[in-house]
Structure 1
Amino acid sequence: MPIIQSPYKAIGLFKNAHFSTIYSAKIRRVHGVSQNRKRLELPDGDFVDIDWSYTDSSLSRKRASKVALLLHGLEGDAQRPYMLGMAKLLVNNGYDVAALNFRGCSGSQNRLYRSYHSGDTRDISHLVNMLSSLSYSMINLYGVSLGGNALLKYLGEGHIIPNKVKAAACIGVPVDLKASLEQLEKRENIIYRTSFLIHLRTKFRKKMNCFPKLMRLEDYRKIDSLKTFDDLYTAPAHGFENALDYYTKASSYQYLNRIKIPTLILNAKNDSFLHGNCYPTQEAKNNDDLFLEMPAHGGHVGFYTRSSFYYNETRSLEFFEEHSS
């Protein structure tokens, strides 16, 4: 599909990548979203918590005919502004919303040594199949950053995707994990990688208390970069040889040509998290179901507008409605 010419125009300070990213993550507030948490037990004995928002918030409600599954980014959760904003817009337009908290991201530590990672699609597949078994006639999928990479991989790696799944939208997606890591390691991105490291080191320490035979204090002390964390935890916990093996196998870039569901990738050209193959222009041109939109501005999921909703939210809803017949 030809590259989409984006109509998005950033205003004022939001033309600055860092300002738009930080404002959107730390300052933006979204009010009026009601969430009802339900725990989903998984086949391997673990669980995930799903925060539901309904078109009718009463307990005796009649279920909507359409539902959207929302997936957050690295060390995020269903209460992040980019999740709440999308949930609010969807509910306002007749959708029920299932916002997934990846394993260990809901405030409750998951039970197993493993947790979640950028290429983990098993829980997504399980949840999509569960949604398909309900009375909804339409399912749309939405992923941000890490969640977007996992969603793209799910769509392209060979899962049996229910016919009810009509469209997907992925925002700020590091489809090439190694390229994204190299970008985050640059000096100007120290604030982001430091924030991630603080969260990841804290989780490592907590999980170490539960699995002392698998996780050592000396390893915890070695974690001084995202790559080191992936070498010492992500890779061994999830069956990869090392961090580089993880980045190679978990990147969705290699699966984009196999996607057969209408899918939007919205990646800002000034996104500080993205580089190189994270802008898959040739793959979009060669796949009629892959739509790539690359606004000049927006930072990392910071597509601010003067309205109540961000451009990535209204654009995703528009894409869903266009491709959900």
Structure 2
Amino acid sequence: MPIIESTYKPPFWAKKSFTSTVFSGLARRVKGVVQTRERIDLDDGDFIDVDWSYAENPSDRVIILLHGLEGNAQRPYITGASKLFNQNEVDACAVNFRGCSGVPNKLYRSYHSGATEDLDAVIKYVLEKNRYKEIYIKGISLGANMALKYAGERNDLPKEIKAVVAISAPCDLKGSCDALMHLKNRHYAIRFLAHLKDKLKPKLEQFPQNISLRDLNSIKSLVDFDNVYTSKAHGFKDAIDYYEKASCLQFLPNIKVPTLIINALNDSFLSAECYPVKEAKQNPNLHLEMPKYGGHVGFIDKRNVYYNERKALDFINQL
């Protein structure tokens, strides 16, 4: 599919990547979204909490929303999308990945960029509600990689899945991790790592056979975290093995449902490999938009409705 020419024009003050990224993550507020929580019990004994918000009238369409690293279903990039879709007669199912709903999960494992088995469990749960004829998936950052991997790794997608939207997608996890560890992103990396290590600390007491205080103290970077915890807890050899197997880039050629990727060219979290131009040109189902501005999930626009949210709605309505 030809690359989409972007029409995104941010406010003058939001053109810098840092400004749009930080404002969107820390300052944006979305009001008026009423969420109802449900718990999905998983086959391995763990659980996932999902937060529903509904259209004013009964709908047979639903969007499944996937948050980013150390996010949750209350982040403004999730509630903003929920609000817009609800206002346009689409229910929203906002997923909290394992351990991200404010309640620790039960197992040593948690979530990661390629954990599509959990997304599959959510989709099956949603379908069991038995009234949705159309399901859309929208992932943000880590959730974007998961959504794209899910769409491309299997040939048995439920027929109800009509579209996928991926925002600020780290299509190549190794490249994205390298980008995050650049000096210019040090403040982001430190913040992410602190959250991840804090969440890992309770598992020292729960699972002393899996991790020790010495292991925890050896974690000095995001790569260390993936070497010590993410890879070992989820069946990978090491961080590199995890990055290689969980990256969605290799699965993009096999995507068979309409899919939109929006990655800003000034997104400091993404490497050159995270802009799948070749894959988009060769796959008619893949639509790639690369706005000049937007930072990481920072597509600030008018009336507190973000550009990527409006584009996602337009994309599914044009199907």
TM-score by length of 1: 0.96
Instruction: Please give the alpha-carbon distance, in whole angstroms, between the structure 2 residues aligned to 1:206 and 1:272.
Output: 32
* Percent of residue pairs identical: 49
How do 1:34-183 residues align onto structure 2 when only pairs under 5 Å count? 34-56=34-56, 63-133=58-128, 134-158=130-154, 160-183=156-179
Once the two structures are superposed, what CA deviation does each residue of 1:195-227 show, in whole Å capped at 9, x if it has no partner?
100101101111222111111000111111000
Matched, 1:14 2:14: yes
Instruction: Please give the alpha-carbon distance, in whole angstroms, between the structure 1 residues aligned to 2:43 and 2:156.
Output: 18
Deviation at 1:160, TM superposition (A): 1.8
Instruction: Please give the alpha-carbon distance, in whole angstroms, between the structure 2 residues aligned to 1:182 and 1:248.
Output: 13
Instruction: Please give the alpha-carbon distance, in whole angstroms, between the structure 2 residues aligned to 1:136 and 1:265.
Output: 24
Matched, 1:320 2:310: no
Contact 1:39–1:49 (CA under 8 A) maintained in structure 2: yes
Contact 2:116–2:147 (CA under 8 A) maintained in structure 1: yes
Contact 2:99–2:110 (CA under 8 A) maintained in structure 1: yes
Deviation at 1:129, TM superposition (A): 2.1
Deviation at 1:186, TM superposition (A): 0.6
User: Which of 262, 265, 275 is the aligned partner of 1:266?
Assistant: 262
CA RMSD of aligned residues (A): 0.9
Matched, 1:255 2:274: no
Does the residue aligned with 2:216 lie in a helix, a strand or coil? helix
Matched, 1:275 2:286: no
User: Which of 282, 291, 301 is the aligned partner of 1:305?
Assistant: 301
User: Which of 184, 189, 207 is the aligned partner of 1:188?
Assistant: 184
Once the two structures are superposed, what CA deviation does each residue of 1:86-128 show, in whole Å capped at 9, x if it has no partner?
0000000001110000000000111111111001100111111
Deviation at 1:131, TM superposition (A): 1.9
Does the residue aligned with 2:303 lie in a helix, a strand or coil? coil
Does the residue aligned with 2:21 lie in a helix, a strand or coil? helix
Does the residue aligned with 2:201 lie in a helix, a strand or coil? helix
4+ aligned runs moved over 6 Å, structure 1: none
Contact 1:125–1:159 (CA under 8 A) maintained in structure 2: no
Amino acid at match of 1:86: A
How do 1:233-248 residues align onto structure 2 when only pairs under 5 Å count? 233-248=229-244
Amino acid at match of 1:225: S
Amino acid at match of 1:123: D
TM-score by length of 2: 0.98
Contact 1:132–1:162 (CA under 8 A) maintained in structure 2: no
Amino acid at match of 1:64: S
Does the residue aligned with 1:69 lie in a helix, a strand or coil? strand
Unpaired segments of 5 or more residues in structure 1? 57-61
Report how many residues are paired.
Answer: 318
Does the residue aligned with 2:55 lie in a helix, a strand or coil? coil
Instruction: Please give the alpha-carbon distance, in whole angstroms, between the structure 2 residues aligned to 1:155 and 1:262.
Output: 10
Does the residue aligned with 1:249 lie in a helix, a strand or coil? helix
Amino acid at match of 1:30: V
Contact 2:40–2:125 (CA under 8 A) maintained in structure 1: no
Does the residue aligned with 1:2 lie in a helix, a strand or coil? coil
Once the two structures are superposed, what CA deviation does each residue of 1:151-196 show, in whole Å capped at 9, x if it has no partner?
1000011152111111111000000000001111111101110110
- In the other structure, the counterpart of 1:59 is none
Deviation at 1:63, TM superposition (A): 3.7
How do 1:285-304 residues align onto structure 2 when only pairs under 5 Å count? 285-304=281-300
